[in-house]
Structure 1
């Protein structure tokens, strides 16, 4: 039987991996992947608490909204990364010194 603790441990592990990726990587795309891992950890928490709360299913509803918002944020972030690459020919956030002309 999978308990709530199993879900929370998995979610904590995903969140820590995402945080490590954000802090350790020098590539904008890898940083976005780390952010997505952290969002997936939060969504897993919402679904787990929604599954174990028998009175209402608001956890799944919030998880659905979080997935939609994460997809929209990822699309915007990738568009920004592509425009930065087109201008500076790099996606390393540390090598970009100025963002305006």
Structure 2
């Protein structure tokens, strides 16, 4: 069970990084970032079960879920605002956040 959890976590992490690097759309980049957060969460749960310290893994998992929810809400709000102004959610076309 331990090996399958780590393999699935590594697969999700690789897919998330690949999607984050290659995506031009903000929504797709946010989805890839959520995949990375899910891989981290799965890794916390798997390793906490291995070391018989379930409480610590569950606390970190709840923290990661809270951070991911805040990131998703903030990222989608920014993407929606940029889409309303520019009519596009492409990352390379938006320079509103640059100084």
Please report the TM-score for the alignment, with normalisation by the length of structure 2.
0.90
How far apart, CA to CA, are the structure 1 residues paired with 2:8 and 2:31?
Answer: 17
Matched-pair contact (CA < 8 Å) for 2:45–2:54? no
How far apart, CA to CA, are the structure 2 residues paired with 1:16 and 1:99?
Answer: 28
Matched-pair contact (CA < 8 Å) for 1:43–1:66? yes
With over 3 angstroms needed to count, the CA separation of the structure-2 counterparts of 1:93 and 1:40, relative to structure 1, is same
What corresponds to 1:68 in structure 2? 66
CA drift of 1:43 comes to 0.5
What corresponds to 2:7 in structure 1? 9
Aligned length: 98
With over 3 angstroms needed to count, the CA separation of the structure-2 counterparts of 1:41 and 1:55, relative to structure 1, is closer
* 3-state secondary structure, aligned to 2:24: coil
Structure 1 segments of 4 or more deviating over 6 A? none
Aligned match for 1:24, one of 14, 22, 25:
22
1:52-90 CA distances to partner (integer Å, 9 max, x unpaired)? 222452011110111011101110110000001111110
Q: What are the residue-to-residue correspondences of 1:1-101 with 2, within 5 Å?
A: 2=1, 4-55=2-53, 57-99=55-97
Query: For structure 1, which runs of at least 5 residues remain unmatched after alignment?
Result: none
Query: For structure 2, which runs of at least 5 residues remain unmatched after alignment?
Result: none
CA drift of 1:99 comes to 4.2
